Chain A
């Protein structure tokens, strides 16, 4: 049995859900960022797999992945800067304690 689209989609789905679990269940803001990075990578795997295994005639899927990687890297730079700012102002990076907008 050779590897096809389904295998890659299942792998990406599992990676995405591990990242989702990390993003939702973690207390440290950096750990939440790591979970989001794992989810972004799962989406990139999907793009590349669709480009490889479905009948297309150019590299649009891979080009979309290039843009997705760009956005992901910009997002992690902003995220780390925000975490540093929050730590400087509030001396905590526990996302449960950052609730001053709670009604």
Chain B
């Protein structure tokens, strides 16, 4: 078993098999938890499954050699966004018992739209060929920082302004006009 991993084509095949297996497990985790978010009857369960889905997406980023983005996904999405959403669930609870998560009357229409989108995308992905290649950075943090502070300094500053505006806007919205 071990000499398979170390020598020749057998090791390469073994690595490829493990890589494929990891991708499919990640895909199952992501899609399963995403379906759980939509189908769950309890909004708190939806929020928890959404956190699990974000963790799956972060692991997929690690799998795709984007370590900095994976760490960011863990911190921002499965940390910050999850807490914000759970706070939103708590603040907008109307009665005792678990907060419900009902469907509206557009279920069939929404199902049709989403299904159509998947079918079109499968057709597009199968019928197009992209040039093979790829780029793996040995040090994503350094390279991203270099790009962000040299070539892409303007979007960086605009994103900073957007964050400030969103922060002030969220505070003003949540505070209301009545209370000074």
Contacts and interface: CB of A to CB of B under 8 A. Distances in A.
Interface in B46-104: 46-47, 50, 53-54, 57, 60-61, 64-66, 68-69, 72-73, 76-77, 80-81, 84-85, 87-89, 91-92, 94, 99-104
B18 to A, nearest CB: 11
Interface in B118-156: 118, 121-122, 125-126, 130-137, 140, 143-144, 147-148, 152, 155
**Chain A: interface size category:** 35 or more
Contacts of A57: 135
Contacts of A54: 130-131, 133-134
Contact of A80 (B19, B88, B137): B88
A55 interface: yes
A81 B170 contact: yes
Query: What 3 A-B pairs are tightest by C-beta distance, nearest first?
Result: A55-B133, A24-B110, A74-B166
**Chain B: interface size category:** 35 or more
Max count, chain B CB within 10 A of own CB: residue among A11, A17, A49, A56: A17
